[in-house]
Structure 1
Amino acid sequence: MARSWDEVATRLVVERGDALSRYAYLLTGSVDDAADLVQDALVRTFGTPRLGMTLPRAEAYVRRAILNAVIDRSRRDGTWRNVRHLAVEPAAVDSPASATDERLDLIERIRRLAPRQAACIVLRYYEDLTVDDVAQVLGISSGAVKRYLSDGLRALSSSIDPAGARAARSGGSHVGS
C-alpha cells in the first residue's frame, strides 16, 4: 500500500507538477505564493496514506487543497482589512465635514433621478447587488437595469462636472483644435 501511495505522489509531482503550479499561479498571481501553495497542498494530500489513490484523484485532491488555501487566505486577509484600523492609529485625521457635504450632495443628486434610475443605483452600488439581483428585486429585465444604471450614472456624472458631460455628448473635447 505505501509503495503505490508513494508512487502516485511521485508521479503526480513529476507529470503534473507544472500544471499544478500554473493553476496556483492563476489563483494567486505570484510565483512564490503558487509554489508555497502547491507544496502545502501536496503535504495535506499525501501527509497520511490514503487507500485507492489514483493519479487523477490525487490531482483533484491537490487542486482542491490549493483552492481551499486561497479562499482561506482571502478570508483571513479580509478579516484583517476589517480590523487593522483598530490596531494602527492614522497619521492624520481628515475632517468629516467635507465627506458629509459630499454625501449630502450625492443624496440630493440621486433624489433628482427618475425613480427607477435611483432604485437601480442604490441597489447596485449601495446594497451591492448584482444586475440580475436588482432586476429580480424590481421585477424588470437585466437589460432594463443596465440601461437605468447607465442613464443614472450619466446623469450623476453630468451633475458633478457639467462641462465634462457636455464634451462627452459632443463627441469629445476639442482642446487645442
Structure 2
Amino acid sequence: MRERPDFEEFAAGRARRLFQIAYLMCGDWYQAQDLVQTALGKMYAVWGRLRFEDGDAGLDAYARKVLLRTYLSHRRLRRSSELTVERVPDAPSDGAADGGAGRTELRLVLVEALAQLPPRNRAVVVLRYLEDHSVEAVAEMLGTSPAAVKSLTTRSLAKLRELLGDRDLFQWS
C-alpha cells in the first residue's frame, strides 16, 4: 500500500478537481475558490489524524464530503445574512465617492469586448496584458509558437479597438 501523501502534495494534486466540483455546485467562480480554500483549511487542521484503509480513494472521498458540507454550511450562513430592502438603489455604490462608477463601467465595457473575442484570442490578451506574461511564456502555455502569439495579439488588439470605437478608456483612471 502506498504511503499517504503530505498535505501540500494532496492539496496541490486535488485543488483543481475540488474547484471544478465546487463551481458546478455553486455556479460562482469566486465562491468556488472560497469553498475549496475553506475545505482544504479544514482538512489541514485534522490532517495528522486522518486514517483511511483505502488510501487515496478515502482521502478523495473525505475531501469531497468536507467540500460539500462547507458548501451547504455556507449556503445556510449566506441565506441568513441576506437583507431585504424596499427599494433597490439606482446606482451601485462601490465605496468610491468620485469615479467609482466610471471604473465599474470601464470594467464592464472591457469584459464585454473581451467576451466577443474567440477563446484563444481572449486567452492571449488576458495572459499578455492582464497576467503580464511574456510572448514566449504565453506560447508555451498555449502550445504554439511565439510568432503565432504575436499574430493573435495583433489581431486581438485590432478587434478590441474596433469594438471599443473611439471611447477614451483612460478618462476614468
Same fold (TM over 0.5): no
Give the number of the structure whose residues are more often helix, by fraction.
Answer: 1
The TM-score with structure 1 as length reference comes to 0.39
Report which of the two structures shows the higher radius of gyration computed on alpha carbons.
1
